[in-house]
């Protein structure tokens, strides 16, 4: 998505530790009109794939997932990072390693909201080593749901999580794939 590459070049900041800061439009301040456009692009890519539900992880996946679900006119479920008192009944759980924070965390989804007949689109803001998507795939498998694919806003191609998932047969669509980045600039993979 050319407009996203241009937005990253205009507003993104490369920070130490391979962090691409896009807080001005994607995960702290949200450029909602733009993210809704990203959602329409994701819906276009997965048109006809039979998706009936979008699955993401809190927090920063929610905006993109919401936009994709709005364009697909399907509900969205987000995996929660902590078990709260509000989650009654059984839970699907997975452990995810956070690249940004260097820690493991648990994510949970209530069994009430994923069913074997669901056909899921996994959505997240970033795809780096793929750990978050692997957690969502595990949850989908526990639910017996099928997975139409995964859609991410920004993939860090140089961390190869997306390529590994594609090699396993998962359809992965990223709206922009950063092939290299440093304080001197960014390059994108041609798609």
Q: Under a CB-based contact definition with an 8 Å cutoff, are residues 186 and 180 in contact?
A: yes
> For strand 172-182 and strand 185-188, is the pairing parallel, antiparallel, or unpaired?
antiparallel
Backbone phi, then psi, for 79, in 5-degree steps? -70, 135
**Is 44 an interacting residue with respect to its own copies (CB under 8 A)?**
no
| Interface with its own copies (CB under 8 A), residue from 1, 45, 70, 186 | 70
Q: How far is the CB of 163 from its own copies (least distance, A)?
A: 24
Candidates 61, 104, 107; CA nearest to 84 is: 107
169-190: string of b/e by CB count within 10 Å (b at 16+)? Answer: ebebbbbbbbeebeeeebebee
Segment contacting its own copies (CB under 8 A): 15-23, 43-51, 138-146, 150-158?
A: 15-23
Region of residue 50 (phi > 0: left; psi between -120 and 50: alpha; otherwise: beta): left
Site string for its own copies, 99-138 (x = CB under 8 A): -xx-------xx-xx-------------------------
Q: How far is the CB of 36 from its own copies (least distance, A)?
A: 6
| Interface with its own copies (CB under 8 A), residue from 75, 115, 168, 180 | 75
| Interface with its own copies (CB under 8 A), residue from 85, 116, 169, 185 | 85
Given the complex with its own copies, which of 28 and 168 has the nearer CB atom?
A: 28
Tell me the C-alpha distance between 159 and 99, whole Å.
11
**Is 177 an interacting residue with respect to its own copies (CB under 8 A)?**
no
**Is 23 an interacting residue with respect to its own copies (CB under 8 A)?**
yes
Given the complex with its own copies, which of 84 and 182 has the nearer CB atom?
A: 84
């Amino acid at each position: 998505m050319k407009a996203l590459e241009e937005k990253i070049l205009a507003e993104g900041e490369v920070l130490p530790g391979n962090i691409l800061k896009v807080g001005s439009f994607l995960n702290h301040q949200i450029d909602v009109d733009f993210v809704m456009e990203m959602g329409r692009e994701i819906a276009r890519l997965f048109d006809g794939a039979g998706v009936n539900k979008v699955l993401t992880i809190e927090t920063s996946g929610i905006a993109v997932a919401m936009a994709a679900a709005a364009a697909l006119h399907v509900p969205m479920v987000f995996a929660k990072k902590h078990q709260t008192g509000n989650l009654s009944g059984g839970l699907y759980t997975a452990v995810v390693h956070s690249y940004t924070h260097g820690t493991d965390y648990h994510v949970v989804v209530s069994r009430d909201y994923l069913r074997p007949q669901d056909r899921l689109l996994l959505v997240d803001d970033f795809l780096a080593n793929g750990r978050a998507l692997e957690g969502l795939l595990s949850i989908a498998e526990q639910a017996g749901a099928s997975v139409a694919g995964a859609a991410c806003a920004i993939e860090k191609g140089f961390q190869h999580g997306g390529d590994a998932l594609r090699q396993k047969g998962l359809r992965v669509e990223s709206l922009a794939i950063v092939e290299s980045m440093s304080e001197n600039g960014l390059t994108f993979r041609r798609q």
